[in-house]
Amino acid sequence: MTRPAEPAGHEVPAMRPAEPVAWPHGKSAAASFTFDVDAESAVLFGNPAAAASRLSVMSHQAYGPLTGLPRLLRILAEHRVRATFFVPGYTAHRHPGAVRAIADGGHEIAHHGYLHESLAEVDEAAEAEILDRGLAALAEVAGVRPVGYRAPMWELTYDSPRLLAERGFLYDSSLMDADVPYELDAGGATSIVEIPVHWGLDDWEQYCYLPDISGSGLIEDPAKAVSMWRGEFEALRREGGCFVLTNHPFLSGRPARAAALEGLIEHVAGCTDVWLAPLGDIARHVRGLALKPRAIPKPELRGSPP
């Protein structure tokens, strides 16, 4: 195959892969356990009518802060693992004791919207207002000014990086294009650290079932889910990546799921070659590396499709 000269104007220069990341303390990879404390908010935003009539659905979500969260906090404490908890503002208002228990456990509390709003459907002003309401709720209830953010439904918008940078956030954890953190261009001369996630490292697809609201309709065995996550941990570990697992207390706080997750936590915590830390610590480390920011340009089609 012959190849012509580089065609001018077609290269998208910033769309380059993330660089490998050097981990601290001589570690060869990083890992973080993260929990999205959605509780009622994950249902209320998309299904407000459920609040008025579906008591069972509300109780299903309340399991998270009431029953699942204490169990998970106990497990983390036993294995001396600090984690990151993404807390919607509404959860803080409805379950303030639960949120304070997270802080009391020495864990990081981060921002996860106010009512778990899917940002794919809101404009920039509304997104800004949601960010500010979430900040206010976390400050009011837990006295926390979070440095980290995760978009509800992992729906970061093209406005989000700038809005986050303007509010002093250090990092986001909602994108999926790399196995390691990087500096994400946030417009102007600013950037935020991005710590990528993935649907395959999330408990929602494995466990969530709420009729007419969410889920494939199937519910998986924790043995399958945790085996799959462990496989991804081992593969990322071999390659110097950053393993970020996302669990929801209303899902993974159930007894057998928590027990299976505990097995994984224990394993990861025992890997001396892996730096296990809250996302905030990871973000601070990455910020210290002064990486060149990457941009993910909005797709522009060259000519319209037929």
> Does residue 199 touch a second copy according to CB under 8 A?
yes
- Residue from 168, 259, 266, 292 that binds a second copy (CB under 8 A)? 259
Question: Residue 103 has which token pair?
Answer: 């802080």
> What are phi and psi for residue 133, nearest 5 degrees?
-65, -40
- Residue from 79, 82, 167, 220 that binds a second copy (CB under 8 A)? 220
Question: Residue 55 has which token pair?
Answer: 């008591």
Closest separation between CB of residue 269 and a second copy, Å?
Answer: 20
> Does residue 247 touch a second copy according to CB under 8 A?
no
DSSP lists the bridge partners of residue 31 as: 243, 276
- Residue from 14, 77, 78, 143 that binds a second copy (CB under 8 A)? 143
Residue number with CB closer to a second copy (24 or 224):
224
Q: Could you tell me whether strands 191-194 and 182-185 are parallel, antiparallel, or unpaired per DSSP bridges?
A: antiparallel
Q: Which stretch binds a second copy (CB under 8 A): 19-27, 66-74, 265-273, 285-293?
A: 66-74
Cα–Cα distance between 265 and 263 in angstroms, integer? 6
- Residue from 58, 269, 271, 289 that binds a second copy (CB under 8 A)? 58
Q: How far is CA 282 from CA 49, 83, 180, 287, in A?
A: 39, 11, 10, 9
Closest separation between CB of residue 245 and a second copy, Å?
Answer: 13
Cα–Cα distance between 112 and 24 in angstroms, integer? 28
Distance from the Cα of residue 212 to its chain's centroid? 25
Closest separation between CB of residue 193 and a second copy, Å?
Answer: 15
Cα–Cα distance between 123 and 125 in angstroms, integer? 6
Q: Which stretch binds a second copy (CB under 8 A): 19-27, 253-261, 269-277, 281-289?
A: 253-261
CB 101 within 8 A of CB 134: no
- Residue from 14, 15, 22, 77 that binds a second copy (CB under 8 A)? 15
> Does residue 77 touch a second copy according to CB under 8 A?
no
> Does residue 24 touch a second copy according to CB under 8 A?
no
- Residue from 209, 266, 270, 273 that binds a second copy (CB under 8 A)? 209
**Exposure b/e, 248-286, CB count within 10 A at least 16 = b:** bbbbbbbeebbebbbebbeebbebeebbbbbbbbbbebb
Q: Which stretch binds a second copy (CB under 8 A): 19-27, 229-237, 268-276, 281-289?
A: 229-237
Q: Which stretch binds a second copy (CB under 8 A): 126-134, 162-170, 264-272, 281-289?
A: 126-134
- Residue from 31, 42, 81, 153 that binds a second copy (CB under 8 A)? 153
> Does residue 151 touch a second copy according to CB under 8 A?
yes
Cα–Cα distance between 56 and 59 in angstroms, integer? 5
CB 68 within 8 A of CB 252: yes
Site for a second copy in 91-120 (CB under 8 A): 93-97, 100, 103, 109, 114-115, 117, 119-120
CB 77 within 8 A of CB 101: no
- Residue from 20, 216, 273, 292 that binds a second copy (CB under 8 A)? 216
- Residue from 63, 187, 267, 269 that binds a second copy (CB under 8 A)? 63
Cα–Cα distance between 268 and 230 in angstroms, integer? 9
Closest separation between CB of residue 65 and a second copy, Å?
Answer: 8
Site for a second copy in 267-286 (CB under 8 A): none
- Whose CA is closest to 197, among 43, 31, 83? 31
